[in-house]
Amino acid sequence: MKARYAILAIYFFAALVAIAVTPEYEAAGVQAFENPGDISNSILYFVAILAFTAFILVVSRYKAVLQLVMYGLILISVYYVIYPFAGLLSAIPAVIIVLFLVKKPNWIVIDVSAFLLSVGIISIFGISLEPLPAIVLLLILAIYDAISVYRTKHMISLAESVTRLRLPLLFVIPLTRDFSFEAIGSKEGEEKKAIYIGVGDIVVPNILVVSAQHFTSSPAIGFIKLSALMSLSGGLIGLAILLRMVGKPQAGLPFLNIPTIAGYLLSQLL
């Protein structure tokens, strides 16, 4: 039960922190697309995800090569996530984080790194996609996630590879005190001592939350606009339903994206 609350908290605070730091990314000009209203941006994002997924599946049999490439990508990602706040000095924390991942990849290091990456990616793509392109992206990825988990099942293989590599592409919430993330892949049954949720499940629906906050003229409740709040609330409801289905691999994005979109559309009718 506590693990489920922890995942809900991660989802909630990732969105709030992303909203809070969005002005810094906007001021620094860190955007993924020049024209946020262009729906073709959503297609480009999806194609990039397909290419990345295919790459991991192909090289997953070569663990050393995959780890080297992933560490490089994480280094670059962390650098750009921190860049609006530290400029070129962002290289220092980026290197430190990667060194921790290489030398001491426990679940705390994984989760902290994953949270940092999630917040940055949410903010960058939230200000890079207006609500309509964001909704198109969420619908495409929800369909793709369902197919890749329930039909082709290649996303399950991808998740297993990422888990064994101990990279911040997922969040790890231990269910037992004796859980050891280092033992994943080498100790029978260790995977069952924790709940996992992919960074994509935190990032993708919250892109619409930040987009709603950034692009709509919805009235604000405190520091958050109604459109963003209702989108976030829809995602939290979907996540709560998803977490009640823990036990076998589930496609998270259909449960998360559809309620998030519904919350946004409802806010536009009020």
From the list 204, 197, 250, 256, the residue with the least C-alpha distance to 4 is 197
Question: Of residues 141 and 51, which shows the higher confidence score?
Answer: 141
Mean pLDDT of 59-79: 83
**What's the pLDDT score for residue 213?**
96
Mean pLDDT of 206-225: 94
Mean pLDDT of 159-170: 75
Percentage of the chain modeled with pLDDT above 90: 43
**What's the pLDDT score for residue 247?**
66
Mean pLDDT of 137-165: 82
Phi/psi at 39 (5° precision): -65, -25
Q: Is the pLDDT of residue 62 over 80?
A: no
Q: Kindly report the number of other CB atoms within 10 A of residue 131's CB atom.
A: 22
Q: How confident is the model at residue 238 (pLDDT cuts 50, 70, 90)?
A: very high
Q: How confident is the model at residue 186 (pLDDT cuts 50, 70, 90)?
A: very low
Q: How confident is the model at residue 115 (pLDDT cuts 50, 70, 90)?
A: very high
- Beta-strand relationship, 194-198 and 170-174: antiparallel
C-alpha to C-alpha distance for 247 and 55, rounded to whole angstroms: 28
**What's the pLDDT score for residue 187?**
46
Domain boundaries, the chain: 2-269
- The whole model's pTM is what? 0.89
Q: Is the pLDDT of residue 92 over 70?
A: yes
Phi/psi at 189 (5° precision): 85, -5
**What's the pLDDT score for residue 256?**
96
Q: Is the pLDDT of residue 4 over 90?
A: no
C-alpha to C-alpha distance for 135 and 139, rounded to whole angstroms: 6
Q: Is the pLDDT of residue 24 over 70?
A: yes
**What's the pLDDT score for residue 182?**
55
> Are 97 and 76 within 8 A, CB to CB?
no
Residue 225, CB half-sphere, CA atoms under 13 Å: how many?
21
Q: Is the pLDDT of residue 61 over 80?
A: no
Calculated CA dihedral for residues 17, 19, 24, 26, nearest 10 degrees: 150
